Chains A and B, each alone.
Chain A
Amino acid sequence: MPSAVADAAPIFAALGDETRLRLIARLGEGRPQSITALTVGEGVTRQAITKHLRVLETAGLIRGQRQGREQRWELQADRIDAAKTWLDDISKHWDAALERLRAFVEE
Chain B
Amino acid sequence: MNTLPDRIEKQAVLRAPIERVWEALSDSAQFGAWFKARFRGPFVAGSEVVGELAEPGHVGRLMVLAVETLDAPHLLSFRWRPHELEKPSDSWPASTLVEFRLEPHPEGTLLVITESGFEAIPESERADYVRGNSEGWEEQLGRIASYVSGTDRIEKTVSLQAPVERVWRALSVAEEFGQWFGLDAAGETFAAGRSAHMKIAEPADYAGRDFTIEVVALEPPRLFSFRWHPCALDPGVDYSSEPMTLVEFFLEPRDNGTLLTVTETGFDAIPAGRRATAFRMNEGGWAEQVQRIRRYVDA
Contacts and interface: CB of A to CB of B under 8 A. Distances in A.
Interface of A: 1-3, 5-9, 12-13, 16-18, 21, 83, 86-87, 89-106
Interface of B: 14-19, 104, 106-108, 149-151, 154, 156, 158, 160-162, 166-167, 170-171, 176, 179-182, 230, 260, 262, 264, 267-268, 272-273, 275-280, 282-283, 286, 289-290, 292-293, 296-297
Given A13-B15, A18-B104, A104-B170, A94 B279 contact: no
Nearest to A83: B151
Contacts of A13: 15
A96 B289 CA distance: 7
Main secondary structure of the interface of A (DSSP, over half): helix
A86 B264 contact: no
Contact of B279 (A2, A18, A99, A104): A2
A94 B156 contact: yes
Given A1-B283, A105-B160, A106-B160, 18 more contacts: A8-B275, A13-B15, A17-B108, A18-B104, A87-B154, A89-B279, A92-B286, A93-B282, A93-B289, A94-B154, A94-B264, A97-B181, A98-B262, A100-B293, A101-B180, A101-B260, A105-B167, A106-B162
A12 B17 contact: no
Nearest to A87: B151
10 contacts: A2-B277, A2-B280, A8-B151, A18-B17, A18-B19, A86-B275, A90-B267, A93-B289, A100-B181, A101-B167
